[in-house]
Copies of this chain bind each other. A is one copy, B any other.
Amino acid sequence: MVNENMKKLGQERSAIREIFEYGNARANEIGRENVFDFSLGNPNVPAPDCVREEIEKLLVKVPAQRLHGYTSAAGAPEVRNAVADYIRAAFGVSARADLIYMTCGAAASLSIVLHALCEEGDEFVIVTPCFPEYRVFIEAAGGRVTEARANEAFHLDLAALDRAVGTRTKGVLINSPNNPTGVVYGEEEICALAELLKRKSAEKGAPVVLIADEPYRELTYGARVPYLPKYYADTIVCYSFSKSLSLAGERIGYISVSPACAGAEDLFAAVCGAGRSLGYVCAPALFQRVCAACLGKSSSLRAYEENRDLLYNALTEYGFSCIRPDGAFYLFIKSPEEDAAAFCARAKAYELLLVPSDSFGIKGYVRISYCVSKQMIERALPAFLKLANEYKK
C-alpha cells in the first residue's frame, strides 16, 4: 500500500540517527551524564551571541506579518544580496545575488541541486568515505552513484577519480572539511581535481559539475579551505549555517551557482524548479535574516579544538589509530577489529556510542563526533581506556 523504497528508508533510518535515538532513550534510563553519545554532528557549542541579538532585534524592528511571511522562493532579496556580497568579499570571486538560492540547510541544498541536474542515465561521483545520505539523495534524484575511494590519508585519490569520472558523469560531489574524516583538501589536490574535471568535461563535450558540500567551511584548526569556484568554473556551492552558527535544527543554508558556470541561468532556473517540485516553498524567513546579519561569524571554535586535542591525544595514547583532523568535528579511528559494527557493539557496553564506518562507504573504521561537552569527553575517557584494553588481552 505504500512505496516500499520509502518505507525501507524510513525503517532503516540513517545509522547515525538510529544511534542518536538510542542515546536519547538510554539517557532516559540511566541519566544523560552516563551516556557517552559521540554519534551526531549536533553542535554543542552555542550559537554566537549575534544570533540571539539579531532575533530580538528583528522581533522589535520588523512587523510580524512581514518578518514571518513568505519570502520569494529563492529567498528575501536583501538576504541574497548580503550573501553575494559576503562571497565576493570573503573569497575574492564574482557572485551574483540572482544566482543565490536560500535553502532549508545542506540536505535540502544537495537534494535540490541533484534534482536540478539529474537527467536519465546520469551518474554522480562521491569520494568515500563520505556522508551516507549522499547516496540517498542521488538515488532519490534518479541518479546512479559511482564511488571514488579516498587515498590512505583520506585525501583525494586522483587516479581513483580518473577511473570514476566518465562520459555519463553529471557531477562530482566533494566535502571539505570532510565528514567523517576531518580532512581538509589542500590547494594542490584541488588544482589537480580541477584539471582532471576540465579534461573530463572536454572528453564528454559537456561540463562535469563540481558540487561542493560546505557545512564545515569555517570549522578548521589552522588549515585554509580553498574556495572551489576559484579553481573550477562549473561549481555549485551548497552551504549550511548548521555548524558555523550552531543552528543545525533551524534548517538554513544556501546554494550558490557560480556565475562562471556554463548556462548559469538555466542551472539556476532548474534549482528553482527542483525546490518547487520538492515542496520547498522558501527557506525559513526569520533565520534567513538572522543568518544574513551573522555572515562571517561563527560559534567558538576553541571548544572544538580543545576537544579534538583531548580526544586525539588520549585515544592515540590508548593505542587507537587515527588521522589528526584539520577541520570539522570528527575523529575517524581505525577499528581494532575488522568488523567495525562489532567494535561499536563492544563500545556500547561501556555506554560509548560510536558510528561504524560501513554506512560511510568504507569498512573497518568508526566515527567519533566531538561536538560534545569537554566534560563528557573527560567522563568518557576511562571507558575508552577499558575498551582499548579489551583488545590488548
Contact = CB atoms under 8 A, between A and B. Distances in A.
Contacts of A55: 55, 59
Interface in A22-79: 24, 40, 42-47, 51-52, 55-56, 59, 63-65, 67-73
Contacts of A72: 17, 20-21, 24
Contacts of A287: 284
A269 interface: yes
A10 B52 contact: no
Contacts of A14: 276
A46 B64 contact: yes
A277 to B, nearest CB: 4
Given A70-B248, A104-B104, A250-B285, A268 B1 contact: no
Contacts of A116: 2-3, 6-7, 10
A102 to B, nearest CB: 11
A45 B63 CA distance: 10
A262 interface: yes
Among A3, A52, A137, find the residue whose CB has the most chain B CB atoms closer than 10 A: A3
Nearest to A49: B64
A280 B107 contact: yes
A337 to B, nearest CB: 30
A277 B9 contact: yes
Contacts of A262: 1
Nearest to A275: B10
A46 B59 CA distance: 12
A55 B284 CA distance: 15
Overall SS of chain A's interface = helix
A105 interface: yes
Interface string A260-279: 00110011111111111111
A207 interface: yes
Contacts of A268: 10
A117 B2 contact: yes
Given A1-B266, A115-B6, A68 B107 contact: no
A14 B2 CA distance: 29
B249 A284 contact: yes
A324 B233 CA distance: 56
A111 interface: yes
Interface string A110-148: 111001111100000000000001001101100000000
Contacts of A52: 59, 64
A336 B6 CA distance: 47
28 contacts: A1-B262, A1-B263, A1-B267, A2-B269, A3-B273, A6-B115, A6-B273, A6-B274, A7-B270, A9-B272, A9-B274, A11-B273, A24-B72, A40-B70, A45-B65, A46-B63, A46-B64, A46-B65, A52-B59, A67-B249, A68-B249, A104-B104, A105-B279, A112-B279, A137-B279, A249-B282, A250-B285, A284-B287
